[in-house]
Amino acid sequence: RKEVEQDPGPFNVPEGATVAFNCTYSNSASQSFFWYRQDCRKEPKLLMSVYSSGNEDGRFTAQLNRASQYISLLIRDSKLSDSATYLCVVTPETHSGGYQKVTFGTGTKLQVIP
C-alpha cells in the first residue's frame, strides 16, 4: 500500500458546484497534513494546513479523520480558477536527524467547466 494515496481524477465539475477530494495515508503515526495546489507547469503552493479540528478558509474546508486515516478537501462554489491539481502532503515520521519526512500524494486533477 502506498504511504499516501489520492484519486488522480480528473474531476470535471461545472462552475458553482461543490467538489470533495479524499487522501488516505497508511501510517497511523502521521503527524501533520497539508493540501497543496499545483497549476499546470508550475510549482506546488501551500493551499492550507489540515488541523485535527478541521479548518476552513473561504470556500475551502479541510478535515482530518484519524480513525479512518484520511484527509479531505471540500471546495464550495467552484470557480474556473480552481482548476488545478491538488496534492495532499503527510509527514509520517521523524527522521533520526530531527527532520520530518514529507510524503506527497500524486495529486487529484480538478477541471472546472464553464
Partner 1 sequence: DVKVTQSSRYLVKRTGEKVFLECVQDMDHENMFWYRQDPGLGLRLIYFSYDVKMKEKGDIPEGYSVSREKKERFSLILESASTNQTSMYLCASRYREETQYFGPGTRLLVL
Binding site for partner 1 (CB under 8 A): 8, 32, 34, 42-46, 49, 87, 89, 91, 95, 97-100, 102, 104-107
Nearer to partner 1, 19 or 89 (CB): 89
- Find out whether 32 and 100 touch, Cβ atoms under 8 Å: yes
Q: Which is nearer to partner 1, 78 or 85 (CB)?
A: 85
Burial 8-20 (b: 16+ CB within 10 A, else e): eeebebeeeeebe
Minimum CB distance to partner 1 smaller for 21 or for 34? 34
Cα(107)–Cα(36) distance, integer angstroms = 9
Rounded to a whole number of angstroms, the minimum distance from the CB of residue 16 to partner 1 is 30
Task: Please name the helix (run of DSSP H) or strand (run of DSSP E) that holds residue 58, with its range, or none.
Answer: none
- Smallest separation (angstroms) from partner 1 to the CB of 62: 14
Residue 51 beta carbon to partner 1: minimum distance, rounded to whole angstroms: 13
CA separation for the pair 17, 31 (Å, rounded): 31
